[in-house]
Amino acid sequence: MIEQSPYLPKQMNGAVVNGVMTGLENELAEANSIIDYLYSLSIATAQETELENIGLIIGYPRPLVPEGFEQENLFIFTNLPMQQDNTIGLSEISSDVGGRLSSLEASQTNYMSLSMYRKFLDKIAYIKRYGITLYSVDMIAKLITDNYTLTYNENKDLVINFGENIGYKNVWVLTNLFYRLATSPQVIIMNDINS
């Protein structure tokens, strides 16, 4: 005897109708496992590829930091890193900055670390929901260090002034993040490079 489908009224209890419903349920069983997977997926537990896909859904792809910004002994003028030459002061722009197709290849080390990306996604999801507020900017800044102050400049832009050297990579990531999220007022990152 075929078990009565819970989706059908009691008067539809024939073998043919129940056979059709059993076939439909079997076809949808795979979709149920996908639904269960998506329901249990979270920023806190996602694997690397899953986390990057969540970032795409949220609207914050995993940042790829330009190669020159990983070095800590460089000067930055506009957005181009320049190598420091102690004998003459400043040298010319590194040949790896542009002009060669090989410079377009991304190495894994240039991505934001997975643990940091996980922390950022959680906060960016909050910002997407509630917008840029002092609280949300504070949450992002605390991901780097607790040693900072929030002030306003003469243009009424919010300035995060880090009291220690957080590194060019973190400055680049934060600057580009707030360029994407804040229009007016702007959020400006200041880094104490003397620390």
Confidence of residue 42 (pLDDT cuts 50, 70, 90): confident
Confidence of residue 147 (pLDDT cuts 50, 70, 90): very high
Nearest-5° Cα angle at 62, 58 to 64:
145
Longest dimension (CA), the chain: 93
Q: How far apart are CA 93 and CA 83, in angstroms?
A: 7
**162 pairs with which residues across the strands?**
148, 191
Average model confidence (pLDDT) across the chain: 76
Continuous H helices in the chain: 15-40, 48-58, 114-130, 134-142, 168-181
Question: Is-contact 137 187, C-beta < 8 A?
Answer: yes
DSSP 63: P
Report the 10 Å Cβ neighbour count for 142: 12
Question: Is-contact 2 20, C-beta < 8 A?
Answer: no
Query: Average pLDDT in the 173-186 region?
Result: 85
Place of tokens 């509630």: 130
DSSP H or E run through 92: strand 89-93
**The pair of three-digit structure tokens given for residue 28, joined into one six-digit string:** 């949808």
Q: Is the pLDDT of residue 85 over 90?
A: no
Burial (CB count within 10 angstroms: exposed 0-12, middle 13-18, buried 19+), residue 9: exposed
Q: What is the pTM of this model?
A: 0.61
Q: Is the pLDDT of residue 57 over 60?
A: yes
Look at strands 187-191 and 158-162 and give their pairing.
parallel
pLDDT, tens digit (0-9, with 9 covering 90-100), for 104-130: 444 445 788 888 899 899 899 898 888
Question: Is-contact 120 143, C-beta < 8 A?
Answer: yes
> Strand order in 158-162's β-sheet?
148-152, 158-162, 187-191
